Amino acid sequence: MALEFPIYMDNHSTTPMDPRVVEAMLPYFTKAFGNAASRTHAFGWTAEAAVEDARETLAKFIGASSGKEMVFTSGATEANNLAIKGAAEYYQSKGNHLITTVIEHKSVLDSCKRLERQGFDVSYVEVEKNGLVDPAKIERAITDKTILVSVMLANNEVGTIQPIAEIGKITRARSVLLHCDAVQGVGKTPFDVESMNVDLASITAHKIYGPKGIGALYVRRSRPRVRLVSQMDGGGHERGNRSGTLNVAGIVGFARACELMMSEGPTENARIRALRDRLRQRLEAALDQVTLNGDAEHRLSGNLNLSFSFVEGEGLMMAIKDVAVSSGSACTSASLEPSYVLKAMGLDEELAHSSLRFGLGRFNTQEEVDYVADLVIQKVKKLRDISPLYEMHQQGIDIKSIQWAAH
């Protein structure tokens, strides 16, 4: 099959929609366009029935006992905001302490920071060098004021899969709520809110080949029943948890994406893992000084985060501009700070600037992997030829021994 350009290898950022998802959604834009809250006519009933079916599918997808536990939102950012702020506000009479980790998504970290300004205390647990959270550190951070722990299922940059089940045992035993931002991991690694003792979970459609603009928050209804203070005022939709007319077509697409993940996920993940491993092996065989960032085992099948020493990530991305990837080098950001996730893992800033994240997904092929591997090898070599740091490395000069002036 002929290659088509540009090649997309940034599936942690978003995924293309599966055509089967698009197909499922189409009737809900035109013929079945009703408002799911309209109780007085067939248009509304049709929409409502589609939404209720979708709820059950989503519940099954994450191991929830009922569709009633799913609250639809505009996406994962809103789900994370609602979970953290909504729970903190509801349970503030019980305590004012929350625990999260330093590598969470900004929608979790910034929600926590806002709560801190409102008088809450937040502990940000460090991660290990491999990007994994040590459950014992979570346990040690729990106090009698702790109301919520929030840990992601899988990290969006380095793909590390966190020990949610172990953390869930701890939080359940200590009667603390557990929120899990499951956006990156769900469908790609086992996730089950019942067996893992998760009380709140954020998911989104566009990371699993569904549409953008639709997410959901799982809110446990029994043992324990979790309550939230809604963050959006209005018509009282979603059992009062989230007002706003439902995005029916998006919800139908979300459910279809979940169905496909449930039926095809295991085979698909094995195929993606093989492609990812092939890419890694090719790059490491041809290039020296390549470092894998994040744990090799506890890792999303499609994630490959590598640092190519002595080559700057953004410069490398420019050299492979027909391939969509991302870099931990935040050279384009005004702050010039590299990835906070890589820094939190204790990675040297130089290596953070030299990192590239490949995110493989459903539609990547072996031909693409081979093409990308060859291209990256060629361009890394070219950029190392013009890198003063690589020359120093070859001359045996330790770059760390030089007094660099920060600028």
Q: Does 22 bind other proteins (CB under 8 A)?
A: no
**Least distance CB 349 / other proteins (angstroms):** 4
**Least distance CB 339 / other proteins (angstroms):** 11
**Least distance CB 252 / other proteins (angstroms):** 36
User: Between residues 205 and 352, which has the closer beta carbon with respect to other proteins?
Assistant: 352
What's at 310, amino acid-wise?
F
- Confirm if 11 and 302 have CB atoms less than 8 A apart: yes
Instruction: Match 């702020």 to its residue by tokens.
Output: 85
Q: Does 396 bind other proteins (CB under 8 A)?
A: no
**Least distance CB 330 / other proteins (angstroms):** 8
Identify which of 122, 116, 123 has the alpha carbon closest to the alpha carbon of residue 137: 123
- Confirm if 148 and 99 have CB atoms less than 8 A apart: yes
Q: Which stretch binds other proteins (CB under 8 A): 23-31, 57-65, 78-86, 386-394?
A: 386-394
User: Between residues 222 and 332, which has the closer beta carbon with respect to other proteins?
Assistant: 332
Cα(78)–Cα(92) distance, integer angstroms:
20
Q: What secondary structure letter does DSSP report for 205?
A: S
Terminal-to-terminal C-alpha distance of the chain: 48
Tell which one of 4, 144, 233, 385 touches other proteins (CB under 8 A).
385
Residue 110 gets the label, from left (phi > 0), alpha (psi -120 to 50) or beta, of alpha
Q: For the window 339-368, what string marks contact with other proteins as x by the rule CB under 8 A?
A: ---------xxx--x---------------
User: Between residues 23 and 391, which has the closer beta carbon with respect to other proteins?
Assistant: 391
Tell which one of 284, 374, 391, 394 touches other proteins (CB under 8 A).
391
Identify which of 362, 160, 374 has the alpha carbon closest to the alpha carbon of residue 271: 362
Tell which one of 19, 119, 388, 396 touches other proteins (CB under 8 A).
388
Cα(71)–Cα(73) distance, integer angstroms:
6
Report 77-106 residues binding other proteins (CB under 8 A): none
Residue 275's H or E segment, with its range, is: helix 248-286
User: Between residues 259 and 312, which has the closer beta carbon with respect to other proteins?
Assistant: 312
User: Between residues 353 and 357, which has the closer beta carbon with respect to other proteins?
Assistant: 353
Identify which of 79, 9, 82 has the alpha carbon closest to the alpha carbon of residue 363: 9
φ, ψ of residue 389 in degrees (nearest 5)? -70, -40
Tell which one of 39, 119, 297, 404 touches other proteins (CB under 8 A).
404
Report CA 145 to chain centroid distance, whole Å.
Answer: 28
Residue 140 gets the label, from left (phi > 0), alpha (psi -120 to 50) or beta, of alpha
Q: Does 402 bind other proteins (CB under 8 A)?
A: yes
Q: Which stretch binds other proteins (CB under 8 A): 66-74, 182-190, 198-206, 383-391?
A: 383-391
Cα(231)–Cα(73) distance, integer angstroms:
11
For other proteins (CB under 8 A), the number of binding residues is 32
Q: For the window 300-339, what string marks contact with other proteins as x by the rule CB under 8 A?
A: ----------xxx-xx--xx---------x-xxxx-x-x-
Cα(382)–Cα(81) distance, integer angstroms:
44
Q: Does 110 bind other proteins (CB under 8 A)?
A: no
Q: What share of the chain is helix, strand, coil (3-state, %, to 5)?
A: 40, 15, 45
User: Between residues 40 and 403, which has the closer beta carbon with respect to other proteins?
Assistant: 403
Residue 331 annotated among the catalytic residues of the structure: yes
Q: Which stretch binds other proteins (CB under 8 A): 30-38, 200-208, 257-265, 387-395?
A: 387-395
User: Between residues 40 and 333, which has the closer beta carbon with respect to other proteins?
Assistant: 333
Residue 60's H or E segment, with its range, is: helix 42-62
What's at 55, amino acid-wise?
R
**Least distance CB 92 / other proteins (angstroms):** 40
Q: Does 407 bind other proteins (CB under 8 A)?
A: yes
Q: Does 389 bind other proteins (CB under 8 A)?
A: yes
The active-site residue, picked from 112, 180, 258, 331, is: 331
Distance set, CA 198 to CA 121, 133, 193, 218, 289 (Å)? 22, 16, 5, 9, 40
- State whether residue 362 is helix, strand or coil: coil
Residues making contact with other proteins (CB under 8 A)? 310-312, 314-315, 318-319, 329, 331-334, 336, 338, 348-350, 353, 385-391, 399, 402-407
- Residues that are catalytic: 331
